[in-house]
Structure 1
Amino acid sequence: MVGGVAAGLLALALTPLAHAERADRDKPMNIEADTGRYEDQSQVTTFTGRVVVTKGTIVMRGARLEVRQDAAGNQSGTMFAEPGKRAFFRQKREGVDEYIEGEGETIEYDGKSDIVRFVRRAEMRRLAGATVQDEVMGSLIVYNNVTEVYTVDAGARASGAPSAAPGGRVRAILAPRNSGAGAAPAATAPAAGASAPLRSSTTLPPASGTPR
C-alpha cells in the first residue's frame, strides 16, 4: 500500500530481530577516488571524483567525500553527489540476509553515534536479499544503526528544498508482516533470522552527534 503522510515527521522502527553489523564501526575505511587532499588545520581529508567507500559491510558512492577522525579514532564522512544526482549508501543487517540502502544529495555517516543522515531527495529501503520490502521517501531521513529507528521529514514546504516524494509529503511503502522472505506466521513468535518489517514507534533517534 502506498500513501502520503500528512505529518511533517514520521517515526518508524525495525522490529528488534536483527541489528546493523556492529563490527562495521571498528573496520577501516577504504576509499577510492580520482584525487585526495588533506588539510592539517581543519583535520579534514577531501576525496573527489567517482568516490567509493567500503567500511565492513558499508558501501558509499558519490562525487565528493569529506572525512574526519576524532582523537578516539571514530570516523565520520559526508558524501556529496554530482549536481542533479544522488549519493548512495548500503549496509548489511546482522544475522539475516537483509540490507538497508538509500540515496540523498548528501549522505552523512557518523561512526561514533552510528547514525546516517540522507539529506534532500532522500530515499531509504530495506531489502531481503534482492527484494525491496519497505521503502520511505522524504526530504530528510535520519537512521540510527544502533536502535534501528529512523525519522522521515518531508521538509519541503518549510525549507523550499525538493523532496524525493512528490507534493512535499512523506511517502512510505511497508510490506505486510506475513509477507516477504523469511517472515514468521502472524500467530507465532518470529523465528531467529526472520525478515523484520517496519512498525510504528514513539521513540525518535537522537538529533545530535551527526556530522555537519
Structure 2
Amino acid sequence: MKYPTYLMAVAAAVIALAVFPAAAEQADRDMPMNAESDALRYDDLKQTSVFTGNVVITKGTTIIRGERVDVTQDPEGYQKAIVIAAPGKLAFYRKKRDGLDEFIEGESERIEYDSRPDVVKFIRNAVLRRYNGAVLADESTGSQINYDNVTDVFTVDGGPQNRSATNPSGRVRALLSPRSKASAAGGTATPAPPAAGPSPSLRPSPALGSEKN
C-alpha cells in the first residue's frame, strides 16, 4: 500500500519526538529530522509508526540505526521507541553530551527509549561507550545496560545472555577512565562555564545489577 507524502511527514514528526532524548545536545532540537527505511507503516488512530528495513534516523548529533523502529505515543503525549537489530547484528544509538566534546554510544540487539523517565535500555549483548572527542574513555558490557539521560547514571546487568567466547562467565566488564585523564586524552573538550563547576562524568549506579528488564 502506498502512503501519500504528507502522511509520511506526519509519521516522521511523531518519531522525532520519540527517539531523541531531552538530554541530547541542545542544538539538536532545532535540527531537521531525517529518516530512511525500506518501508513505513503509520496508524493515526493508534498513534504508532513502524519503520522497517535498514532504518537510519538522524537529528543533529543524534543517530539511530536498526532493522526496525517501532514508536508509540500514550494519551499524555509520552513516547516509547523500540529499535530492533537485524539477525546477527546490533542496533546502534549515539548522541552528543550537552555542552561537552563527548559522545555516548551504545549497541545491543534491542534498544528501548521511554521519554517519560528519559531512560535508554540496551538489551542483550549490550555495550555502552563514552568518547572524549574521538578517544574512547569509558566502556561497559553486559546483558542489559540502562542509561539515565537526566542523571548520567547507568546500571549494568550480567548473566548467561552475556556469555561469549571471549567472556565465558557472562560477568559485567567495565573500563572507566579517571575524569582528568579522559579529558586530557581528548584534548578538545569544551570547557564548562566557571560557575558550572567541573563537567559531569558518567556514573555507574552503586546498585549494579539491581535493575532487570
TM-score by length of 2: 0.71
Of the three residues 33, 36, 39, the one matched with 1:32 is 36
1:171 aligned partner: 173
Residue type of the partner of 2:85?
A
| Equivalent-residue separation in structure 1 for 2:139 and 2:129 (angstroms) | 4
| Equivalent-residue separation in structure 1 for 2:121 and 2:31 (angstroms) | 20
Per-residue Cα deviation, 1:58-91 (whole angstroms, up to 9, x for no partner): 2110101101122343332100001011000001
> Alpha carbon RMSD of aligned pairs, Å?
3.3
Unmatched 5+ residue regions in structure 1?
Answer: 1-18, 184-190
Contact persistence 1:181–1:195 (CA under 8 A):
no
Contact persistence 2:123–2:143 (CA under 8 A):
yes
More strand by share: 1
Contact persistence 1:175–1:197 (CA under 8 A):
no
Runs of 4+ in 1 over 6 A off after TM superposition: 25-28
Residue type of the partner of 1:168?
G
Identical-residue share of aligned pairs (%):
50
Of the three residues 102, 106, 117, the one matched with 1:98 is 102
| Equivalent-residue separation in structure 2 for 1:129 and 1:22 (angstroms) | 14
Alignment map for 1:10-29 (pairs within 5 Å): 20-21=23-24, 23=26
Per-residue Cα deviation, 1:28-62 (whole angstroms, up to 9, x for no partner): 76422110112456432211111012245321101
More helix by share: 2
1:83 aligned partner: 87
Contact persistence 1:20–1:92 (CA under 8 A):
no
Unmatched 5+ residue regions in structure 2?
Answer: 1-21, 186-190
Of the three residues 173, 180, 183, the one matched with 2:182 is 180
- The answer to which structure, 1 or 2, has the higher relative contact order (CA under 8 A, 6+ apart) is 1
| Equivalent-residue separation in structure 1 for 2:135 and 2:110 (angstroms) | 25
State the aligned residue count. Answer: 180
